Amino acid sequence: MSAECSSYLNADKVLVSGFSCPRAGGDARAVFCCGFQDVKYCCDDPHSFFPYEHSYMWWLSVGALVGLSIAAVVLFAFIITVCVLCYLFISTKPRSKLDPGLSLQMAGKTSC
């Protein structure tokens, strides 16, 4: 089994001629053409070819980074809010115990 990777223009706009997979001297299991429209290589996964340019992965990475940054800020704000509320709860508690107003006496003794 073998696959043909057609010729393509790489990111520098240089024409790379087509080749067949597996390549001579390469992994014998790499029988599929993988990669992107502007970066192609042989691999062993038949579902690893993406009909986009490789640069779109950069935008996915930037999008993921922005999303994770926003999630981190929200988590940080939540933790700060919980800490402030705990501090306020603890600091506004009364410091002394309440006096019940009755003194306890032992049963059976009378005081004169």
Render pLDDT for 12-67 as a digit per residue (tens, 0 to 9). 888 989 888 888 887 888 889 888 888 888 988 887 777 666 666 666 677 788 88
The whole-number average pLDDT for the span 59-80 is 88
In Å, what is the CA distance from 44 to each residue of 19, 47, 66, 99?
Answer: 16, 9, 32, 79
Beta bridge partners of 34: 41
- Tell me the pTM: 0.44
Question: E strands of 44-81, at which residues?
Answer: none
CA–CA separation, 27 vs 32, rounded Å? 11
Q: Is the pLDDT of residue 110 over 80?
A: no
